[in-house]
A and B are shown apart, each in its own frame.
Chain A
């Protein structure tokens, strides 16, 4: 079974903090993604990566950056957390088109 693991289920951070969300997959997938999910808006793509050190902006990259130093790990960075970044963050990986998701990190910025 594919396993995508996110480092935290719940996080509470203060406005202005630098926040790291970590994601690891164990299936040697080339593609990894970060989405955020908000009520009524569905899943929105923040960034994706199709290879080590390669990244592309998604639909809502502002306020975020990513890092992919190793194939199995894809990190999402909130440079200076703001309250409008309070959300559910979902990491996913894929080989072709089917995406496998981690369990999600619910981030609250206070």
Chain B
């Protein structure tokens, strides 16, 4: 079983749509959670951290469910520029400083 699992997609949605991605993680000791965005042929960049209480950044909302070990990303009013791969990322915390990445979910927003 992969440590961080995501649906690879692609998710093809029209502009203005709302789209949600889920991600599950296997290590219950995981402490920090993030969504990264990776554009085609570019490096990953931090989109947002995910907090236990849920958090919002403009059109983006992230949620964490520790009991079920999943995190989610909701994008409202999709723009063409949102087309990218979204990577679910987990940090195990103490003893391991590196991030563990999911394989990503590809989003294609169509005009």
Contact = CB atoms under 8 A, between A and B. Distances in A.
Contacts of A45: 98, 100
Interface string B74-103: 000000000000010001000001111111
Nearest to A90: B43
B46 interface: yes
Nearest to A47: B98
B67 to A, nearest CB: 22
A50 B103 CA distance: 25
Interface in B40-68: 42-46, 49
A41 B8 CA distance: 10
A99 interface: yes
A31 B42 CA distance: 21
Give chain A's interface secondary structure class. strand
A104 B63 CA distance: 30
Given A48-B98, A97-B32, A103 B103 contact: no
A60 to B, nearest CB: 12
A101 to B, nearest CB: 4
Interface in A72-110: 90, 94, 97-99, 101-104
Contact of B103 (A42, A98, A102, A104): A42
A101 B98 contact: no
A85 to B, nearest CB: 19
Interface of B: 4, 8, 32, 34, 42-46, 49, 87, 91, 97-104
